[in-house]
Structure 1
Amino acid sequence: MFNATVGNINNLLWGSGQLLIYILVFAGFWFSFKLKFVQFAHFRHMFFVMKNSTKGDSAGISSFQALCTGLSARVGTGNLAGVSVAISLGGAGAVFWMWVIAFLGMATGFAESILGQLYKVKDDHKEYRGGPAYYIKMGLNKPWLAVAFAICLFLGYGFSFSAMQANTISDALNHALDIPHMYSGLAITLFAGVIVMGGFKSIARFAELVVPFMGIAYILAALTVAALNIEHIPALIGDILASAFGLQEAGAGALGAAIKNGIQRGLYSNEAGAGSVPHASASASPTPNHPVAQGYVQMLGVFVDTVVLCTCTAVIILLADLPMSGEMEGIRLTQDAMTAHIGDGGVYFVAAAITLFAFTSVVANYAYAESNLHLFKLDNNLGRGIYTSCYLAMVLWGANASLFHVWAMADMALGLMTLVNIFAIVQLTPTIKALFKDYCQQRTNQMSLPAQSQIKPEISFSAQNIDYQGKLYSGIWDKK
């Protein structure tokens, strides 16, 4: 009965009902319109904010570390296996619709990250924590809904997702190097334990070191493949566009498959609207010191995850020109494509990429769930010890288990999280708009000063300057 209930809920959310796809697409259009298409109008400014984002303080991590932590959780098997699924079921046109949903998702990610910053709190270690549970409780005054979100988060990111990522790593290493699952599971658990024992800041430092390295290495690999096949690039782009709009022989059926699979896999990959990334956003001390600055940072995260890294996988697969059966294919399609380009080493390269991508997700998932311990008054040594022990046990178990039922549980938890989060951020739209207007006004005032002006006022946030919903944590934003 339990399995049937979970299956029915997932079918409604992700399956034939596709409720979440409609809701997330609506949210993307909603916030794009309400924020004056910020993802396009302020595209250059998004990169400008990152220029001075490497400094944190005693209470918060830097904006760059928050970006890397967010990418740690976002960038995973979805960027390698998820793109394979989209292309195998939806054709080359699915890539175009992944781009579309990424640009819509940038606005949603912008909105939820602003709220994560505004409604952040300080835990028992005087460090910043926050996320949807906090802005639901403080902004909407719905503590019961905040608790429901946090429970779903613990089931999903705290336990199930980390077990799945560990399973992915152990499978990849077993397939490429014939390493037994138990040995790889013990190694994953040990390394994860060393990192997460240091808390959120330790995880952020790890992400800051590993994420840029693995991202750049993967981009360089895709650029190398593209350079070796440069004469085929124009035809590749034409194929993506033609397939995206059903201009090929297959017609309307192919168009529907391209849209459905491109949107679904794009949403899975960038997590915009799921309520996960606001936890990383809330933990930062942004530069400039305004909640909207963190919105730009995480908007960049959606762009890098889907438009950049997922496109890299698509280029590798489509340029390999492998036969497509129309049936679902996962990571092996990516492995076969890379092998077609660089020989037998392709299997090892993809295995290494999966190991890094998935392991960073394992530790970032811990950080997201750990941020909600404060909500239950458990952000002390005992509470963290119990949660960490359960988390590491799930990682070890996941590396050795068959996870069909855990996948279903995780999908349900993520789906319910997303429903609650989208409801909350739409309700908090007036606050989001007020914050955005305040930031833009300060930026306009700053830019209107003469170029030779020696002193330009820094953009900063004061709670007295806007009408926000609910209440804020005392001592963070009420000081001038």
Structure 2
Amino acid sequence: MHDFLLFMSDLIWGSILIYLLAGAGIWFTWHTGYIQFRHLRMFCPLLRRSITPPRDGLSALQALLISLAARVGVGSLSGVAIALAAGGPGAIFWMWVTGIIGMGISFAECTLAQLYKTRNDRGQFQGGPAWYMTRGLGMRWMGSLFAVMLIVAFGFIANYLQASAISRALHQTFNISPLAISITLFVLCALAIRRGIQGVATIALWLVPIMSLCWLLPGLGLMLWHIDQIPSVLGLVLRGAFGWHEVAAGTLGYTLSQALSQGFQHGMFSNEAGVGSTPNVAAAAVSWPPHPAAQGLVQMVGVAFDTLVLCSITAMVILLSGVLDIPELQSNGLSILRLAMASLVGQWGSTLVTLIVVLFAFTTIIANVVYAENNLNFMLRPTASRRLLFRLSILLTVIAGCLFYMPGVWQLATIMTALMAIVNLIAILLLSPVVRELIGDWRRQRALGKMPVFNPERFPEIHSQLEPGVWDNAKRSTPSASNYNHRP
């Protein structure tokens, strides 16, 4: 079974998804007028005016931090290590490529999620790929298929892997019993998700910046300490990106296909651009100004931060340590990263990696619950009993991840992620004319010196697809335009 899953994973990623992802990334980069390059500077003004949590949803800052909580999981650490071990230094170059083109994809999917959002039974905003597939494309079957895949992939498989990473890291470093870890993690996760998306947003608001700095600062410090080696490391990356790098002792070098496939696979697995997960929280945000493109602009920066910053720090630590040249190097990503840090700073570096893994994986688990529960609400009418049973089933999966090791789950996760991405990318490509209209409307209003406000009456073909009342009252609930930066 393990060999079959590995074959399927390589088949989907190597022959289908790489081309679809690259094509979609290039298409949306061009289709939006190179949005990730022209409008990146707008991130801070948009976020600064969207900090206070509104009553009917999340602030843009809360939505961004929940999406980062989901992104910066084990994939940003051990996933990078696995990509480098299997694809060579060049894999990080293709990770950067996925980050750059993924920003355009993330803008498109999060903008569509904002546009087609609805209100739940408590009057708060909800939405995501299942909604824009249903309302924008008129394909509820497609939305239902995606919702089921996300529930399985993020609610259960991904959370199993994150819990397993926590258990193995703590057991190997501190010799803590997996049973004790499972019980503790069960309690902490139960408390964190008790209040739903609002409770997770509160935790993410404090924990995500702290844990990111705990990894960024040591990583940047090591890069400065070894700054004389940075040019040679970057040279390895560039040569390896095209299959020109050879490992130590003259053994067979990594091929272009290895670097390309590993970089794209683990880059996408980490930043989640195109997978369709982030739009589930992007739709819950009340963006300022009240225009779907505003949340798309904010969320695309999360892709850049995860891939171009966090993953790069992880890669530089591993490459500076030289552990990839060890012939008997283990294929376990966490072991590679711990060995790299220990070789650079001593044994305390291995302990630091363990603590960072625990924090990253924990925030990913609770954010994944939010994503999965959102799609459950799309499938079934939400009730207290259904919500409780669903959360309990996910928490039991977390316990299983701590206690049992199941080979092949990682390959299953990559297959499910790939299938989700294929369905989602097809949907947003079909809806790309809508994305182009929205970014055009945003730019038109800014060029006139106005604060962009989405008026659905300007788009009669879209207006009929939207839930009444979501966008109709945008102007009345908008802060004064006099405080807006009018520069086009």
Alignment correspondent of 1:370: 373
Of 20-29 and 232-241, deviating more is 232-241
Q: Counterpart of 1:351?
A: 354
Deviation of residue 133 (structure 1)? Answer: 0.5
Q: 2: CA distance between counterparts of 1:280 and 1:52?
A: 18
Match of 1:472 among 444, 466, 475: 466
Question: What is the CA–CA distance in structure 2 between the aligned matches of 1:270 and 1:207, rounded to whole Å?
Answer: 17
Deviations 1:439-476 (A, max 9, x none): 11112222xxxxxxxxxx43221211235546111211
Q: 1:126 aligns with which of 123, 127, 137?
A: 123
Alpha-carbon distance change, 343 to 291 in structure 1, aligned in 2, over 3 angstroms: same
Q: What is the identity, as a one-letter code, of the residue corresponding to 1:412? A: I
User: What SS does structure 1 have at the residue aligned with 2:110?
Assistant: helix
**What's the CA shift for 1:259?**
2.4
**Structure 1 residues 182 and 319, CA gap change in structure 2 (3 angstroms):** same
Match of residue 254 from structure 1: 255
Contact 2:88 2:254 in 1 (8 A): no
Tell me the secondary structure at the aligned position of residue 56 of structure 1: coil
1:13 is aligned to 12
8 A Cα contact 2:147 2:379, kept in partner: no
Residue 278 of structure 1 pairs with residue 279 of structure 2 = yes
CA distance in 1, matches of 2:242, 2:410: 33
Shift of 1:400: 0.8
Look up the SS of the partner of 1:441 in the other structure. Answer: helix
Distance in 2 separating the partners of 1:362 and 1:352? 16
1:90 aligns with 2:87: yes
Structure 1 unmatched ranges of 5 or more: 447-456
1:379-458 map, 5 Å? 379-446=382-449, 457-458=450-451
Q: Partners of 1:461 and 1:414 in 2: how far apart?
A: 33
Distance in 2, matches of 1:98 and 1:256, equals 13
Give me the whole-angstrom Cα distance separating, in 2, the residues matched to 1:216 and 1:116: 30
CA deviations on 1:360-400 (whole Å, 9 max, x unpaired) are 00000000011123323432212211211211111112211
Q: Which of 185, 207, 210 is matched with 1:188 structurally? A: 185
Distance 1:331 1:3 in 2: 20
Q: Please say if 1:112 is aligned against 2:109.
A: yes
Deviation at 1:11? 4.5
Does the CA-based 8 Å contact 2:269-2:414 persist in structure 1? no
Structure 1: which amino acid aligns with 2:11?
L
Match of residue 449 from structure 1: none
Check conservation: 2:71, 2:272, Cα contact below 8 A: yes
Q: Tell whether the 8 Å contact from 2:68 to 2:302 is kept in structure 1 after alignment.
A: yes
Distance 1:9 1:226, change over 3 A: closer
Query: Which residue number corresponds to residue 360 of structure 1?
Result: 363
2:270 matched to which residue of 1? 269
SS in 2 for 1:371: helix
Q: CA deviation at 1:225?
A: 0.5
* Alpha-carbon shift at residue 50 of structure 1 (Å): 2.3
Q: TM-score, length-normalised on structure 2?
A: 0.91
- Match for residue 339 of structure 1? 342
Q: Matches of 2:416 and 2:46 in 1, distance apart?
A: 33
Do the aligned partners of 1:438 and 1:466 also contact (CA within 8 Å) in 2? no
1:250-308, Cα deviation, whole Å (9 max, x unpaired): 89953333223222221111111000000010011112211111111111000000000
Q: Name the count of aligned residue pairs.
A: 467
Distance (whole Å) between structure 1 residues aligned to residue 343 and residue 70 of structure 2 = 29
Q: Does the aligned pair in 2 maintain the 1:56–1:284 contact within 8 Å?
A: no
Corresponding position of 1:450: none
After superposition, residues 200-211 of structure 1 pair within 5 angstroms as: 200-211=197-208
C-alpha distance in structure 1 between counterparts of 2:326 and 2:209, whole Å: 32
Unaligned segments of structure 2, at least 5 residues:
476-488
User: How does 1:292-303 map onto structure 2 within 5 Å?
Assistant: 292-303=293-304
Superposed CA offset, 1:159-184 (max 9, x none)? 12112111110110000000111110
Letter in 1 for 2:405: S
TM-score, normalised on structure 1?
0.92
Q: Tell whether 2:51 aligns with 1:54.
A: yes
Paired position in structure 2 for 1:291: 292
Q: Distance in 1 between matches of 2:277 and 2:258?
A: 28
Q: Which moved more, 1:69-78 or 1:381-390?
A: 381-390
Displacement of 1:405 after TM fit? 4.8
- Take 1:375 and 1:248, find their aligned partners in 2: how far apart are those partners? 48
Q: How far off is 1:246 after superposition? A: 4.4
Partners of 1:43 and 1:183 in 2: CA distance: 45
Q: 5 Å matches for 1:172-187? A: 172-187=169-184
Match of 1:23 in 2: 20
Moved more, 88-97 or 71-80: 88-97
Output the CA distance in 2 between the equivalents of 1:97 and 1:413: 21
- Output the CA distance in 1 between the equivalents of 2:326 and 2:257: 17
Asked if the contact 2:244–2:254 (Cα under 8 Å) also holds between the matched residues in 1, the reply is no
CA pair 228-334 structure 1, distance change in 2 beyond 3 A: same
Percent identity for Structure 1 against Structure 2? 36
In structure 2, relative to structure 1, the CA distance for the partners of 1:200 and 1:337 (3 Å cut) is same
Q: In structure 1, which of residues 66, 71, 81 is the aligned counterpart of residue 68 of structure 2?
A: 71
Counterpart contact for 2:83–2:91, Cα < 8 Å: yes
Deviation at 1:220, TM superposition (A): 0.3
What secondary structure, in the 3-state scheme, does the structure 2 residue paired with 1:414 have? helix
Partner deviation per Cα, 1:11-38 (whole Å, 9 max, x = no partner): 4323xx4312221111111111111111
Does residue 460 in structure 1 map to residue 459 in structure 2? no
